[in-house]
A and B are shown apart, each in its own frame.
Chain A
């Protein structure tokens, strides 16, 4: 079998090689400008690639569905019984929590969150994972043409998934909350201590810069603080599983178990905008409703 050769003259090869060298030098000398130019030029290319990407993702979902329905049913009954027991327990806990929350200030905080949690959001499906090993990301089937931009927050009903870092016309890349390069402003729900949530290399998350005097403890819930980033206040991030307090350190940190398992997430909401509270609104005492 012979490979058909696209013959080019020696001069054309030299010209192409020269252009490629100029391009590489351009990247080194003008990284920011060229990157934004190529990012915008790449949008149509991304659109072209998104077709086979969505086709492969569709086939993959179909096969996974068939596998899940017919092949991987071993142990489902036992799992079902266990889930029912857990559901009963959760129902009981949920009732207790509802009763307690009705009598405390948390109700006002919840109402405040409810007001904030009505942003315009876009539903999107996960169609792929990061193509490399250096970042933990997912690829969504909605992009710039749906109003999605960088730094917008991505959530599920269970909690925070991550934030948008890159978009093409029809896809978006989400840096997960478990990625060590991600940073989200977080708040311990019980103690109201703020910090920064970062991912860890073990696939968990860590709340950093907790004040030393904080009495945070394992089991406390961490939510978004709504100060910076694309999230309104009060979206669950994770639950503290361990407090790390080093001697002579200025702050303590806490290891979190994320509320959302990023490896299993399939459908998400992208928060396009939400009313950011002013400093005055944030610090003021919540007003009682008439």
Chain B
């Protein structure tokens, strides 16, 4: 069942991200649903699930982007693994804390990405921070927080987290 959910997430996220999200972009910046999904999976299901789903999602997303395979796979895998480790350290996680956490992690990943991609000199770190990283981090945090709040208000999230990690 869990594997089926992960496969659906991997196969379904690419069309949503590439077709629908271009209409929901704010100032030309779209949220990274892959990042949000990997964070939540790592947080809820543990570091191994986060890592494996991150690697697979990074691979699938790189097939439909100009981003190179290595940076996409390693960054998504690392995010899933770190989210899993972070989830292991907390007993109770409120949506507000999750939003702040997603904001910080998305900013860090966003600042590492242009260095990993070797972008054009026009796209320097200052440009990246103001034009892409910060707006995308805000969108990621809001969407991640909303999804987590839905799960949190309808499920016993602590129980799901402890069961998933067994």
Contacts and interface: CB of A to CB of B under 8 A. Distances in A.
Interface of A: 1-7, 13, 16-17, 20, 23-24, 27-28, 31, 34-35, 38-39, 42, 45-46, 48-49, 52-53, 55-57, 60, 127-135, 137, 139, 165-166, 168, 171, 173, 175, 179-181, 198, 200-201
Nearest to B47: A17
B103 interface: no
Given A166-B66, A181-B120, A201 B30 contact: no
A247 B23 CA distance: 43
Contacts of B67: 132, 134-135
Nearest to A4: B1
Interface stretch (B14-22, B85-93, B142-150): B14-22
B114 interface: yes
Contact of B17 (A24, A28, A131): A131
B159 to A, nearest CB: 8
Contacts of B29: 133
12 contacts: A1-B154, A3-B164, A13-B48, A20-B48, A24-B73, A39-B69, A46-B63, A49-B14, A53-B14, A168-B63, A181-B120, A201-B123
Given A2-B160, A16-B48, A198 B120 contact: yes
A137 B29 CA distance: 14
B153 interface: no
A128 B166 contact: no
Interface in B24-45: 28-30, 32, 34
B18 A139 contact: yes
Query: Chain A interface secondary structure, helix, strand, loop or mixed?
Result: mixed
B5 to A, nearest CB: 8
Contact of A23 (B32, B55, B131): B55
B18 to A, nearest CB: 3
Given A173-B64, A200-B122, 14 more contacts: A1-B155, A4-B2, A5-B163, A6-B2, A27-B69, A42-B62, A49-B60, A57-B15, A57-B19, A127-B19, A131-B21, A134-B66, A179-B66, A198-B120
A174 B54 CA distance: 25
Interface of B: 1-3, 11-12, 14-22, 28-30, 32, 34, 48, 51-52, 55, 59-70, 73-74, 77, 113-114, 117, 119-120, 122-123, 127, 131-132, 136, 154-155, 159-160, 163-164, 166
A46 B16 CA distance: 15
A146 B166 CA distance: 47
Contact of A17 (B51, B120, B122): B51
B114 A2 contact: no
Contacts of B19: 53, 56-57, 60, 127-129
Contact of A48 (B1, B11, B52, B123): B11
B34 A131 contact: yes
Nearest to A138: B18
B70 A35 contact: yes
A56 B55 contact: no
A60 B20 contact: yes
Contacts of B119: 134, 180-181
A131 B131 contact: no
A142 B50 CA distance: 32
Contacts of A1: 154-155
A3 B2 contact: yes
